[in-house]
Amino acid sequence: MTFVQGLKCRECGQDYPKEPLHVCETCFGPLEVVYDYDRIKKEISREKIAQRAKSLWRYRELLPIDGEPQAGLYSGFTPLIRAHRLGAALGAKELYIKDDSVNHPTFSYKDRVVSVAISKAIEFGFDTVSCASTGNLANSVAAHAAKAGLNCYVFIPEGLEQGKIIGSAIYGPRTIAIQGNYDDVNRLCSEIADKYGWAFVNVNLRPYYAEGAKTHGFEVAEQLGWKLPRHIVVASAGGTILPKIAKAFKELKQVGLIDDSACKIYAAQATGCAPIIQALKKGADLISPVKPNTIASSIAIGNPADGFYVLQAVKESGGWGESVTDEEILDAIKLLARTEGIFTEPAGGTEVAVTRKLIQQGRIPRDESVVISITGNGYKTLEVVAKSVEQPFKIRADLRNFDELYLQLNQPTPGKVAAGEG
């Protein structure tokens, strides 16, 4: 059963068939999936969804597959956590973490988009899948390709964290590291996609792939009892997820699953790579590309393909955006870990730090509900925080040694365990 009518250019409106196409031949605008919302509205209901398995496919009417899901049967439906302790630290009364750092199977939001892209690749009959990636996408494509028995090539910039390189290699793809940054990888992959007949999840399957990002938004709404938060903070790299969360909220209203789609959306970037935030603050529609220079490698994209749509979604929602320094990002990674027990990568640190800044600026009122979208896992980027955490104390296996150490650690306030700053 399908509710997909075809593809349409977001810029000039030209129609295209349901094929592995991603850009409009006339204006190069991105293609977007068109659904039959009237039929979906008749078919879908909160009760129906509640009876389904806890994966992103519980919203399948609003996803662009024609047959049954072929991949990612356990992906999505990540926890939405009421963050009391982080909320107290940031001064927010009702704060939630949408925790995609524990997404199945590769611990980032990318398992959402890849589940849809691989399902679609199988529907189209491809035998090889590929991607241009800052790391997380490569991990996810490699894992899903292994499970589906497809050939896999992943392209990454050189110098990525070990966790992200090995986190792909273990699944047996061919990994190609390109000299240069992600924007260079992107350019090359666009040309490779043209030449080789592969399913490039974020190139020729992009219209389908990107739809998977909506499920992050669907889940936030369902987990809040089919209501939206007043504010949501999301990191922006190439600009896929933020506009898709906005689209998800609109669709939920359109098909009658929620009553009110008002929610202010905020973009978060690292100051070392903030082309979208710079354009937002200048009031510009056109995004000037930048050369990335930040520890947040997964959001180090200086030429964001969908940056324009991020600006549009942020403005339409009444939200805003901010950027934060690498130091603020590191602090925020530790703050999230030490208040909520969640270890995120620098992209997640960026979101927490930006939320703190927006609350301090008064952009986000302290007494309204806020969701922070945590998109990736800190265990993949250990190098980034390795030097800013306490090193283990080495002692002999002798109780007296420990007694001495304990006394030392607790000298200023006896009886209280020292907070582990190092």
Partner 1 sequence: MSVRVRVPTPLRKFTNGADEVNAQGPNVRAIVDDLDRSYPGIRERICDETGKVRRFVNVYVNGDDIRFLQNLETSLKDGDNISIVPAIAGGL
Q: Where does this chain bind partner 1 (CB under 8 A)? A: 11, 22-30, 108-110, 131-134, 136-137, 180, 182-184, 186-187, 189-191, 194-195, 202-203, 206, 209-210, 235, 237-241, 286, 288-289, 291, 298-301, 303-306, 308, 347, 375-376
Q: How far is the CB of 411 from partner 1 (least distance, A)?
A: 44
Q: How far is the CB of 41 from partner 1 (least distance, A)?
A: 29
Nearer to partner 1, 216 or 255 (CB): 216
Structure tokens at 204: 């020729």
Lay out the sheet containing 264-270: strands in order across. Answer: 80-82, 94-99, 369-374, 231-235, 264-270, 321-324
Nearer to partner 1, 95 or 290 (CB): 290
Helix-helix angle 346-360:326-340, to 10 degrees: 90
Q: How far is the CB of 205 from partner 1 (least distance, A)?
A: 10
Reduced 3-state DSSP string for 7-73: EEECCCCCEECCCCCCECCCCCCEEEEEECHHHHHHHCCHHHHHCCCCCHHHHHHHCCCCCCCCCCC
Distance linking the first and last C-alpha atoms of the chain? 57
β partners of residue 151: 128
Nearer to partner 1, 137 or 333 (CB): 137
Nearer to partner 1, 222 or 351 (CB): 351
Distance CA 276, CA 258 (A): 30
Nearer to partner 1, 95 or 235 (CB): 235
Nearer to partner 1, 140 or 317 (CB): 140
Catalogue the E-assigned strands of 316-403. Answer: 321-324, 369-374
Backbone angles phi, psi at 78, to 5 degrees: -80, 160
Q: How far is the CB of 312 from partner 1 (least distance, A)?
A: 12
Closest to 205 in 3D by CA, of 50, 338, 20: 20
- Helix, strand, or coil (residue 376): strand
Q: How far is the CB of 134 from partner 1 (least distance, A)?
A: 5
Q: How far is the CB of 265 from partner 1 (least distance, A)?
A: 15
